[in-house]
Amino acid sequence: MWQYLVKRIISLIPLLLVVSFVVFMFIHIIPGDPARLLAGKEATVEEVEMARQSLGLDKPLYEQYFVYLKGLLSGDLGYSIKSGAPVSKLIGDRILPTLGLTFLSILWALIVGILLGIISAVFRNRWPDHLGMFTAVSGISLPNFWVGLVLIQLFSVQLGIFPTGGADGWKSYIMPSFALGAGIMAMIARFTRSSLVDSMKQDYIRMGRAKGLGSGSIVFGHALKNSLIPVVTVAGLQFGFLLGGSVVVETVFSFPGLGTLLIDSIQFRDYPVVQAEILLFAVQFILVNLLIDIVYSFLNPKIRYE
Amino acid sequence: MSSLQSKSMEVEQIKIKEPGRFQQFWRSFHRKKPAVISFYFVLLLFVIMIIGPFITPYDAAEPDYNSLLETPSLTHFFGTDEYGRDILSRIIAGAKISLSVSVSAVSLGAIIGTMLGLISGFIGKWVDKLIMRGCDVLFAFPDLILAIGIVAILGPGLKNVVIAVAFFSIPSFARIVRGATLEVKEMLFVEAAESIGAGRMRIMLKHIFPETLPTIIVYFTMNVGTAILAAASLSFLGLGAEPSSPDWGAMLSVSRDYIGTAFHLVFFPGLIIFLTVLAFNLLGDGLREMLDPKMKD
């Protein structure tokens, strides 16, 4: 097990290095002179030169990258153009609400998605299945920002149950997490169904039936356990969808998280913040997939020996 | 001789009775109700995209200050917006933007991804490794985050949305086509083509590519739905279409300010995005079951 873990983590290092290099290049690909951008529109030639030197932009590219990498490893993500504050502090202030939101979204998506998948698989090709799968395909097709706006109209404007936005108290997390999780819930439901349908065709299930086990015991006691292994992987892969979606949903609910920070920074052309955030999203995504791989290898030992 | 003749006549008769591949496909496709309805809906959208400007009940861009924020009625089926413009007319005019952006983005992604996938699967060795590692790097970024990053570099606008959305479609097409290529490569007819001295390019394009086409078609259809959502999201965030244009995502972005006072401004553009994406997804599902049974979950 430990051997597999170490191998898996080491194999990520080249990917992380390339990803960090791609994000590092971000500031160099932007049209125009980054030093001028960072120094401001009204800066004099000397000020631009000073900005260039302070940012190390006058040094060769590979040297700049090593400095950037060294900064990353020590938690230095540069400074915001807009506020002058360290980017790490800006991100630190916003990361908890976003993590809370994504956690809640994936939690309800897993619970409802798996339940919907079980119902569909048990009632395969009958109306509960058709209804369940239609709900799932609709969930995948719904624009999350529209779901958010409809929820605001219904539960904030009409009924006054939940606040329209912000992140004060648990109530303000309910609607954004619903809007964010709907798509993943749908994917999980579809995958649980097909995985469970496959499991139900296996010999050990037929054996169970022959022994006279009830449907409930067959589904929950035997088939479901094996069907959930691939569902874990899907949930992990969809995490990226959740990270992207959080940017949109946070904008709808004016939620003070990483997503709104990203959009504000793009509008202000606060590139150090944009750069750091994109790297953070990618690293989060890579690490979650690593975690899923590890969980998967626990659940399915065959993987470790491949 | 005579028996041979009668046999060949029999074969001919059978040939006449048997419907063509397309007819067979069409018949079994018509048994899948959700996919058929979706197909006609998508077809209708493309017709609207072409003849849209001739059938809009009102001018989509012309303000009418006598009918601001009117709720849906018989004169304005979907109501009017903050400038008194007819929302139905704007949705019809917007079909052209939303569809052309998403279809061209996925086409661009599909062409580049397919080429990379073919090369990767067919040539193998270090070329394969290089292309697949490149895809891994793109996969490391969540789709929408990658698109947002690209638009942040290139600047807002529809052209850049096309590039951004195409970019995140590339690795998935490359991976899927590579997989299909690896399978087809082992088949006897490819070996036969190689043995008669056909060049690599010819084998890739004339023999392997047509075999991977069903997979590409299925994946293309499903990706258009994703692309519409992504493009609408970018416009909603203010990174895509001009806020004044009738793009569906941009319409929703502007309408946020009127939530609580004029909900129809929010409701109809969102509904049409939902229905369009749903249609592409259901159509993709139907095609997948027919063309590529292996891809079925």
What chain B holds in terms of domains, given with CATH numbers, is 90-297 (1.10.3720.10)
Q: Which residue out of A37, A145, A192 would a mutagenesis test of the B interface target, given it has the greatest number of B Cβ atoms within 10 Å? A: A145
**Tens of pLDDT along chain A (306 residues)?**
778 788 888 888 888 899 999 888 887 787 777 777 777 777 888 888 887 887 777 788 888 888 888 988 888 888 888 888 999 999 999 999 999 999 999 999 999 999 999 999 888 888 999 898 888 989 999 999 999 999 999 999 999 999 988 888 889 999 999 999 999 999 999 989 988 888 888 888 888 888 888 778 887 877 887 788 878 877 877 888 888 899 999 999 999 999 999 999 988 888 889 989 999 999 988 888 888 888 877 777 776 655
- The pLDDT tens digits for B20-29 are 777 887 888 8
| A224 alpha carbon, distance to own chain's centre | 26
pLDDT digits (tens, 9 = 90+) for B49-103: 999 888 888 888 888 888 888 889 898 899 898 888 999 999 999 999 999 999 9
Cα–Cα distance, A96 to B253 (Å, whole number): 27
ipTM exceeds 0.95, yes or no = no
What residue ranges in B186-266 does DSSP mark as E strands? none
CA distances from A175 to A101, A106, A166, A215 (A): 10, 14, 11, 36
* Residues contacting A213, CB < 8 A, separation 6+: A221, A222
Distance CA A35, CA A268 (A): 16
What type of residue sits at position B167?
F
d(CA A97, CA A93) in angstroms, rounded, equals 9
Query: Quick one: pLDDT band at residue B1, thresholds 50, 70, 90?
Result: very low
Quick one: DSSP state of residue B82?
A: T
Name chain A contacts of B154, Cβ cutoff 8 Å. Answer: 31
Chain A 10-69, CB below 8 Å of chain B: which residues? 15, 18-19, 22, 26, 29-31
Binding-face residues of A in 113-172 toward B, CB within 8 A? 134, 137-138, 140-146, 149-150, 152-153, 157
Which residues from chain B sit within 8 angstroms of residue A247, using beta carbons?
Answer: 144-145, 148, 237
Q: Where are the beta strands (DSSP E) in A155-283?
A: none
Contact yes or no for B168/B147 (Cβ under 8 A)? yes
To the nearest whole angstrom, how far is the Cα of A146 from the nearest Cα of chain B? 6
Residues from chain A that touch B221, judged by Cβ atoms under 8 A, are: none
DSSP string spanning B20-40? PHHHHHHHHHTT-HHHHHHHH
Contacts of B73 (CB under 8 A, 6+ apart): B79
> Are A101 and A255 spatial neighbours (Cβ–Cβ below 8 Å)?
yes
| CA-to-CA dists, residue A1 to A287, A295, B290, angstroms | 18, 11, 42
Q: Return residues 178-237 of A near B (CB < 8 Å).
A: 190-191, 194-195
Residues of B in contact with A29 (CB under 8 A): 153
Query: B70: closest CA among B275, B242, B257, B258?
Result: B258
Rg from Cα positions in chain B: 24
CB contact under 8 A, A278 and B145: yes
CA distance linking residue A285 with residue B36, whole number of Å: 37
**Cβ–Cβ contact A282 with B under 8 A:** yes
Residues of B within 8 A of A150 (CB-CB) are 266-267, 270
The pTM of the full predicted model, rounded to 2 decimals, is: 0.88
* pLDDT top residue among A80 and B233: B233
Please tell me chain B's helix, strand, coil percentages from 3-state DSSP, rounded to the nearest 5: 75, 0, 25
CATH number of this structure's domain A95-299: 1.10.3720.10
Q: Judge contact between B119 and B127, C-beta under 8 A.
A: yes
Start-end ranges of CATH 1.10.3720.10 in chain A? 95-299
A241 at B interface, C-beta within 8 A: yes
Q: Do B145 and A243 touch (CB under 8 A)?
A: yes
In one-letter notation, the amino acid at residue B41 is: F
Q: Which residues lie closer than 8 Å to A286 by C-beta, 6 or more apart?
A: A12, A15, A16, A19, B140
**Alpha-carbon distance B122 to B182, whole Å?**
7
User: Chain A contacts of B240, Cβ < 8 Å?
Assistant: none
Q: How far is B264 from chain A (nearest CA, A)?
A: 10
